[in-house]
């Protein structure tokens, strides 16, 4: 909303400084956007929140100024001279849809001379950014900007059948607007029709055929109330927003519907001549039911934390147009003014008093009692995973939650359901909620490679979105599951990605409650045979909590990347139940350790995990550390189908120094257990 300072001064005495006025209005809720000096006048642009349609006209803003500075208002009382002719004899107005148009009034002026507006009118409109059209149209715009009540002037000679009907549009009904574009309407919209066809899109824009032209002599002046929804449906649906639709979407003051009509008629007579017929032709009833609101005497202090004297509270409310209807020692009942339908509860009155009194009155140094705060397991999991990633040299990426089909065409490790879609797209082409973060991270790595950074190791901790199977028990509460994923894409092989995953699982301490198994997995993103799923075993149940592997060649190619690149993705939401918040100390042994290297030969098909389990099982609690030193195969020396595993064992007892014999016995036991479980033999 752009204000003309001179125009505002018609209704209230202003402070000399425009900057001070703008600042004061801003601190009372009319945010200041800019001020432009225009000759003798100044254009002050303010931002009006959607609850304050009263300030979409100069009079409403003048009222605010009056209250803020304690100055009286000067509102004119337009009484245009009327002829004896009664328009209702020759014109009928009907409302067919009272829910979307509660009230409609039409005044008729005859013998009007259309021409340019006088300089004062042109100047005022220009100051507030509106071009002059002709004297009659300018008056309707002027009065809208004065009162916030939109008006429309029709060329009465073009109205067919001498009637006005306000009705819902018929689906597909064509309408040519003043901008000479033709629109197909739908039944959510409201039209003003004459005897034959729509002549205006109610509250939004007039029609081309009935607009005021140089040849117009008789004018039908509309002033009405339209409901917000049909106006919004038309303005947004047809991309046809106007100053009129903007105001009707917010609700102009019902008490100004007739005032604005009389004001416009008087101004038309002044600038365009002609004669006004007696009284308006009306249909419907003005919807106006101001609220009666009790305000308890201590309430303002209870909300604000500082007191505003009763007399001052009264002064503010009276200045804003509230009327005292009942007073008791403890409370006063106020009737809201017709232009403040946003005020209907006690808390609304408190806000009015606060914003006029000024929020600088509210203390900023009251004591706040201390309270305990605990980190949630989820928060802890997110932080610990992030620590591992940045400790390992990865940078955190933030990629979009919604991706294009190209990124979502691969299967997700987290569910078979097709991706969920949104409308509109987040950005062009991206309308699918992602089911894994890995394609986005690969794309980001590719973007880095394209600008010459081919070693961008990235991680992200974010949600994915997976449709739950219809009919499942969880689907009733929410049809969408949101796995919280900690994912990374790094240069290197399977083992680099696995090392990161292991470090996170270790940092979360999942081994205190569960065991982790790495199983070969088939996953379209990853190379077959060089990828694993991470399975968590707990309380007899097993579930997938992660995947890790080398990124498949086709996937790399699609992301314009050259390998090797590895990836890992962990479901933190499945891990926060097993993370160790704190662990009891395991006191390190004071006795010396014994180091032994053992070279075991097993069949190639035996996985390391089985050998490691056998070693641990055979060690009888003496094994402090197990390290795999080397894996090698040599058909000549080991035979075909065998492999050698060189392991380094650190044995230590926490009850005494381990003797050479005891250590040897432990190693023998370990080898025996490996032999029993995996068929391993000791290589000399």
Binders in 425-464 for another protein, by CB under 8 A: 426-427, 433, 444, 447-448, 451, 453, 456-459, 462-463
Residue with tokens 């001179």: 6
Q: Per rule CB under 8 A, is residue 591 in the interface with another protein?
A: no
**Given 79, 180, 423, 587, the residue binding another protein (CB under 8 A):** 423
The neighbouring-strand residues paired with 645 are 600, 631
Residue-wise burial string across 650-678, b where 16 or more C-beta atoms lie within 10 A, e elsewhere? ebbbeeeebeeeebeebbebbbebbbebb
CB of 648 to another protein, least distance (A): 25
484: helix, strand or coil: strand
Q: Give 76 or 429: the residue with its C-beta nearer to another protein.
A: 429
**Given 325, 327, 328, 421, the residue binding another protein (CB under 8 A):** 421
CB of 247 to another protein, least distance (A): 14
Spatial separation of the C-alpha atoms in residues 62 and 70, rounded to whole Å: 11
Spatial separation of the C-alpha atoms in residues 307 and 12, rounded to whole Å: 29
Sheet arrangement for strand 623-632: 623-632, 642-651, 594-603, 681-682
Size (the chain), residues: 684
Output phi, psi for 660, to 5 deg.
-60, -40
Q: Give 111 or 298: the residue with its C-beta nearer to another protein.
A: 298
Spatial separation of the C-alpha atoms in residues 670 and 675, rounded to whole Å: 9
Residue with tokens 């009919």: 471
601: helix, strand or coil: strand
Q: Per rule CB under 8 A, is residue 584 in the interface with another protein?
A: no
Q: Give 181 or 236: the residue with its C-beta nearer to another protein.
A: 236
Site for another protein in 511-570 (CB under 8 A): none
CB of 350 to another protein, least distance (A): 7
Site for another protein in 199-228 (CB under 8 A): 228
CB of 192 to another protein, least distance (A): 22
CB of 413 to another protein, least distance (A): 19
Q: Give 354 or 523: the residue with its C-beta nearer to another protein.
A: 354
Site for another protein in 358-397 (CB under 8 A): 359-360, 362-376, 378-379, 386, 389-397
Residue 469: how many CB atoms within 10 A of its CB?
A: 12
With 0-12 / 13-18 / 19 or more C-beta atoms within 10 angstroms meaning exposed / middle / buried, residue 534 is buried
**Given 424, 540, 588, 592, the residue binding another protein (CB under 8 A):** 424
CB of 451 to another protein, least distance (A): 7
Q: Per rule CB under 8 A, is residue 195 in the interface with another protein?
A: no
**Given 354, 497, 578, 611, the residue binding another protein (CB under 8 A):** 354
CB of 508 to another protein, least distance (A): 17
Q: Give 304 or 336: the residue with its C-beta nearer to another protein.
A: 304
476: helix, strand or coil: helix
CB of 153 to another protein, least distance (A): 28
Q: Give 275 or 467: the residue with its C-beta nearer to another protein.
A: 467
Contact 457, 449 (CB under 8 A): no
Please tell me what DSSP assigns to residue 15: P
**Integer CA distances (angstroms), 310 to 315, 317, 351, 363, 446, in order:** 9, 11, 15, 19, 67
Q: Give 94 or 396: the residue with its C-beta nearer to another protein.
A: 396
CB of 423 to another protein, least distance (A): 6
Q: Give 306 or 613: the residue with its C-beta nearer to another protein.
A: 306
Q: Give 235 or 619: the residue with its C-beta nearer to another protein.
A: 235
Q: Give 402 or 570: the residue with its C-beta nearer to another protein.
A: 402
Site for another protein in 8-67 (CB under 8 A): 26-29, 31, 49-52
CB of 384 to another protein, least distance (A): 13
Three-state secondary structure string covering 64-107: HHHHHHCCCCCCCCCCCCECCCCHHHCCEEEECCCCCCCEEEEE
Q: Give 53 or 198: the residue with its C-beta nearer to another protein.
A: 53
CB of 599 to another protein, least distance (A): 33
Q: Give 427 or 554: the residue with its C-beta nearer to another protein.
A: 427
CB of 100 to another protein, least distance (A): 12
User: Candidates 38-46, 199-207, 296-304, 585-593 — which segment interacts with another protein by CB under 8 A?
Assistant: 296-304
> Measured in whole angstroms, how far is the alpha carbon of residue 190 from the centre of its chain?
30
With 0-12 / 13-18 / 19 or more C-beta atoms within 10 angstroms meaning exposed / middle / buried, residue 561 is buried
Q: Per rule CB under 8 A, is residue 495 in the interface with another protein?
A: no
The size of the interface with another protein (CB under 8 A), counted in residues, is 86
Spatial separation of the C-alpha atoms in residues 23 and 17, rounded to whole Å: 10
CB of 409 to another protein, least distance (A): 18
Q: Per rule CB under 8 A, is residue 179 in the interface with another protein?
A: no
Q: Give 114 or 567: the residue with its C-beta nearer to another protein.
A: 567
User: Candidates 7-15, 79-87, 166-174, 345-353 — which segment interacts with another protein by CB under 8 A?
Assistant: 345-353
**Given 208, 240, 467, 638, the residue binding another protein (CB under 8 A):** 467
Q: Give 382 or 614: the residue with its C-beta nearer to another protein.
A: 382
CB of 92 to another protein, least distance (A): 31
Q: What is the dihedral of CA 591, 596, 601, 605, to 10 degrees?
A: 40
User: Candidates 121-129, 147-155, 184-192, 477-485 — which segment interacts with another protein by CB under 8 A?
Assistant: 477-485
CB of 429 to another protein, least distance (A): 13
DSSP 114-156: --PPPHHHHHHHHHTT-----HHHHHHHHHHHHHS--EEEEEG
Q: Per rule CB under 8 A, is residue 480 in the interface with another protein?
A: yes
> Under the phi-then-psi rule, with left for phi > 0, alpha for psi from -120 to 50, and beta for the rest, what region is 321?
left
Q: Give 41 or 457: the residue with its C-beta nearer to another protein.
A: 457
Residue 318 CB contacts under 8 Å (≥ 6 apart), including other chains: 324
Site for another protein in 302-341 (CB under 8 A): 302-306
Contact 60, 48 (CB under 8 A): no
**Given 82, 209, 315, 482, the residue binding another protein (CB under 8 A):** 482
**Integer CA distances (angstroms), 394 to 170, 499, 656, in order:** 60, 13, 43
Q: Give 452 or 540: the residue with its C-beta nearer to another protein.
A: 452
> Measured in whole angstroms, how far is the alpha carbon of residue 91 from the centre of its chain?
49
Nearest CA to 581 out of 505, 485, 510, 515 is that of 510
Q: Give 372 or 660: the residue with its C-beta nearer to another protein.
A: 372
Spatial separation of the C-alpha atoms in residues 402 and 464, rounded to whole Å: 9
Site for another protein in 234-273 (CB under 8 A): 236, 249
Spatial separation of the C-alpha atoms in residues 132 and 637, rounded to whole Å: 100
User: Candidates 261-269, 414-422, 530-538, 610-618 — which segment interacts with another protein by CB under 8 A?
Assistant: 414-422
């Amino acid at each position: 909303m752009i204000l003309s300072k001179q125009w505002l001064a018609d209704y209230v005495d202003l402070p000399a400084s425009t900057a001070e006025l703008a600042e004061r209005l801003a601190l009372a809720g009319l945010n200041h956007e800019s001020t432009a000096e225009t000759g003798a006048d100044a254009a002050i642009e303010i931002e009006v929140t959607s609850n304050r349609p009263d300030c979409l006209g100069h009079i409403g803003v003048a009222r605010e100024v009056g209250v803020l500075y304690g100055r009286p208002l000067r509102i004119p009382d337009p009484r245009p001279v009327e002829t004896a002719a009664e328009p209702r004899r020759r014109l009928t107005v009907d409302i067919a849809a009272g829910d979307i148009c509660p009230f409609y009034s039409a005044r008729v002026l005859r013998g009007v001379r259309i021409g340019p507006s006088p300089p004062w009118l042109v100047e005022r409109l220009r100051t507030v950014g509106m071009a002059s059209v002709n004297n009659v149209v300018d008056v309707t715009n002027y009065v809208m900007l004065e009162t916030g009540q939109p008006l429309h002037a029709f060329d009465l000679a073009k109205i067919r059948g001498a009637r006005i009907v306000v009705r819902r549009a018929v689906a597909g009904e064509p309408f040519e607007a003043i901008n000479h574009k033709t629109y197909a309407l739908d039944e959510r919209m409201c039209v003003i029709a004459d005897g034959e066809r729509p002549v205006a899109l109610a509250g939004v824009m007039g029609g081309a055929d009935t607009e005021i032209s140089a040849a117009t002599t008789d004018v039908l002046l509309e002033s009405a109330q339209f409901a917000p929804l049909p106006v919004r449906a038309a303005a947004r649906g047809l991309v046809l927003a106007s100053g009129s639709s903007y105001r009707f979407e917010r609700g102009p003051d019902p008490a100004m519907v007739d005032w604005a009509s009389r004001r416009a008629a008087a101004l038309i007579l002044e600038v365009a001549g002609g004669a006004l017929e007696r009284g308006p032709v009306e249909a419907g009833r003005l919807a106006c039911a101001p609220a009666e609101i009790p305000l308890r005497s201590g309430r303002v202090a209870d909300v604000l934390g500082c007191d505003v004297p009763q007399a001052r509270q009264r002064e503010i409310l009276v200045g804003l147009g509230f009327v005292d209807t009942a007073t008791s020692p403890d409370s006063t009942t106020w009737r809201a003014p017709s232009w403040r339908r946003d005020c209907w509860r006690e808390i609304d009155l408190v806000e009015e008093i606060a914003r006029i009194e000024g929020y600088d009155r509210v203390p900023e140094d009251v004591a706040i009692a201390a309270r305990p705060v605990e980190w949630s397991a989820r928060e802890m999991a997110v932080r610990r995973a992030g620590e591992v990633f940045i400790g390992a040299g990865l940078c955190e990426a933030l990629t979009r939650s919604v991706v294009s089909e190209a990124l979502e065409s691969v299967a997700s490790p987290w569910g078979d359901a097709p991706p969920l879609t949104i409308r509109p797209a987040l950005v062009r082409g991206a309308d699918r909620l992602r089911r894994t973060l890995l394609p986005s991270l690969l794309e980001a790595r590719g973007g880095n490679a394209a600008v010459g950074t081919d070693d961008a190791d990235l991680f992200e901790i974010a949600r994915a979105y997976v449709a739950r199977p219809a009919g499942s028990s969880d689907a009733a509460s929410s049809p969408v599951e949101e796995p919280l994923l900690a994912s990374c894409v790094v240069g290197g092989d399977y083992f680099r990605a696995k090392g990161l995953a292991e470090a996170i699982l270790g940092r979360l301490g999942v081994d205190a409650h569960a065991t982790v198994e790495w199983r070969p997995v088939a996953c379209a993103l990853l190379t077959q045979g060089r990828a694993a799923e991470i399975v968590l075993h707990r309380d007899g149940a097993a579930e997938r909590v992660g995947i890790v592997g080398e990124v498949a060649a086709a996937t790399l190619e699609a992301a314009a990347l050259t390998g090797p690149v590895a990836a890992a993705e962990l479901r933190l939401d499945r891990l926060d139940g097993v993370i160790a918040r704190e662990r009891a100390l395991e006191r390190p042994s004071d006795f010396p350790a014994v180091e032994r290297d053992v070279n075991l030969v097993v069949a190639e098909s035996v996985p390391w995990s089985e050998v490691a389990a056998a070693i641990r099982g055979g060690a009888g609690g003496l094994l402090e550390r197990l390290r795999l030193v080397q894996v090698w195969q040599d058909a000549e020396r080991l035979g075909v189908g065998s492999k050698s595993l060189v392991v380094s064992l650190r044995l230590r007892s926490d009850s005494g120094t381990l003797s050479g014999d005891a250590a040897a016995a432990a190693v023998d036991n370990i080898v025996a257990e490996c032999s029993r479980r995996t068929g391993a033999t000791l290589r000399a």
